[in-house]
A and B are shown apart, each in its own frame.
Chain A
Amino acid sequence: MSVQQGVLPLNGQQQAFNPLNFRGDHLLVAQMVEPGSKVLDVGCGDGDLLQLLESRGVDGRGIELSREGVNHCVAKGLAVVQGDADTDLVNYPDDAFDYVILSQTLQATRQPKVVLENLLRIGRRAIVSFPNFGYWKMRLQLLVGGHMPRTDNLPATWYDTPNIHFCTIKDFVQLCDEINVKMERAVALDLYGRPLRFNAPWWFWNMFGEQGIFLLSRGQQR
């Protein structure tokens, strides 16, 4: 019997970690996580962020919807399970993790509010990043072009996009306020993944931030 050519990359522990290989938003998220903590990455894709986190001594777990993504992650030696953020988060007990991360996935969930509430039930903190629909190029395409915006980072057309709940940074801040979520840190990134000036006003971020990253915790009981 011949040894089969592998169909998945078997680069689990052997891969050399080079931070330059990682996306800017992933590095920023990773910086928000304290080393040694326990993290759940919801919608972990191919597991790039989880690998980055594990290289920093974080105990990482993942949920991914696509079977292909899961199998890639497991082939990398990551603890990832196939599941759906909308339906499977309820199965996790309270306070199971130090951080729950939702990276570029919020806009693809059916019930973003419920998902967000679950993140902060399961984790003591949540880190959420999402594309900002209030970004000036988006506004311009709709205003001038009269068509649904498409960008390099969001190339899908309106009829085949998995992103069904777009929001702006302003919308998200409002939602956090509504469900009593405390914003511990917020960063807006430009098109190239570089952080914008931290002391800029919200309207500036909402206009020039291509995406937002938020470190959240549970607010005071009201």
Chain B
Amino acid sequence: MVDRHLAHSQSVQAEEREHEADHPSSLVANFGADQPLALDCGIDLAPFQIAYQTYGTLNAARSNAILVCHALTGDQHVANIHPITGKPGWWETLVGPGRALDTDRYFIICSNVIGGCMGSTGPASTNPATGRPWGLDFPVVTIPDMVRAQAMLIDRLGIDTLFCVVGGSMGGMQVLQWSVAYPQRVFSALAIACSTRHSAQNIAFHELGRQAVMADPDWRQGRYFEQGTHPHRGLGVARMAAHITYLSDAALHRKFGRRMQDRDEPTFSFDADFQVESYLRHQGSSFVERFDANSYLYLTRAMDYFDIAADHNGVLAQAFRGTRTRFCVVSFTSDWLFPTSESRAVVHALNAGGARVSFAEIETDRGHDAFLLDVPEFLDISHAFLQSAAAARGLTPVRS
């Protein structure tokens, strides 16, 4: 009975998810055959669409726009109720009235990345050539492709220069890519818990996740939509493994220790005896409700391919030479996915390139996920960085 109920709710959510891919509960910018997206793999993607949310008001000078770039499993719903999960926006600690990204002061844009599953064209979208979901026929996209698509959206919105580009993790990669690809269009850049290249360890974790998805018999070579299945077990395992990398040993110990879940004694079975197991299973199952398995493959791949220095003769500093963008780089002490050493390498390159850069390492035991959480020191630094950038940009507060 419970299982049937669960299966029913999962199928409802699967329908919602499929619906969101083509008809998102967001604003949509359509790009026709005459405006293809030139992908790094050599393919021109057309037509395609970008789903996005905005908050606040664009000023008359069009100088107060902030682009928020979301992370691997994020989406455009930064500061509103999520259409599928019903949960609050994923970055309401940072975005909102009076927050660091003050919606009373700035015009905030967040778009679903190309390759995503919340309304921007991706593997879950319908391929106009076949009338079926793209699946693995969707071309492999990169971080620069995502940024190129965002730039087309910004053009469409009539914005020349972004006041700030902000993001953490994969979002931070996009921030750095923006500052390298369009230095004139980025007044300031806030790159959090990220890197200019994906490390071997991180690629390894991603490969683990992809293999888990593809090993699920319900994956059906990526054709699960047509065959009425969904690789929720494989994607769930991928999420569980990834989620461990977003936390830290100390945080897991503090939150769960070796405590048991609703029982005093071990069951001598493979039930979720420990709280930490139960927590991870929950993370896995709630994730599959809202995320497309193929999209997970594509986006992890995009991160793996990311390497700014490789595109600049192996010299990272060359990428930032002569930049006038104001940078703020933030890392967290317990983040072992994108450790401080990665941020420091970015900072050294920015310094060598003569950039105006601030760099703060925040002490916390909350691991990589800290950028999404209520970490006051991080929020204050973000606030102060934007304040000083706003003063330099001549943005006056609109609130009385």
Contacts and interface: CB of A to CB of B under 8 A. Distances in A.
Interface of A: 1, 3-8, 10, 12-13, 59, 61, 67, 70-71, 73-83, 88, 91-93, 96
Q: Please give me the 7 A-B residue pairs with the lowest Cβ-Cβ distance, nearest first.
A: A77-B388, A81-B359, A13-B391, A75-B384, A91-B348, A74-B358, A8-B380
B98 A77 contact: no
Given A4-B374, A8-B377, A82 B359 contact: yes
A4 B374 CA distance: 8
A9 B381 CA distance: 10
B384 A3 contact: no
Interface in B356-400: 356-363, 374, 376-377, 379-381, 383-385, 387-389, 391
Contacts of B374: 1, 4
Given A4-B374, A4-B379, A6-B380, A82 B360 contact: yes
Q: Which of B347, B376, B384 has the most CB of A within 10 A?
A: B384
22 contacts: A1-B93, A1-B374, A6-B383, A8-B380, A10-B383, A10-B387, A12-B388, A13-B388, A71-B362, A73-B358, A74-B384, A74-B385, A75-B380, A75-B384, A76-B388, A77-B385, A80-B358, A82-B344, A82-B359, A82-B361, A83-B344, A88-B348
B358 A8 contact: no
Nearest to A38: B354
Contacts of B110: none
Nearest to B374: A4
Nearest to B386: A77
B357 A79 contact: yes
A112 to B, nearest CB: 22
A166 B360 CA distance: 30
B32 to A, nearest CB: 41
Nearest to A54: B388
B326 interface: yes
A1 B92 contact: yes
A71 B381 contact: yes
Given A71-B381, A74-B328, A75-B384, A6 B376 contact: yes
B376 A4 contact: yes
A71 B332 CA distance: 12
Contacts of B261: none
B359 A70 contact: yes
B351 interface: yes
A70 B363 CA distance: 12
Nearest to B97: A3
A91 B359 CA distance: 15
Contacts of A92: 351-352
A67 B326 contact: no
Contact of B384 (A61, A76, A91): A76
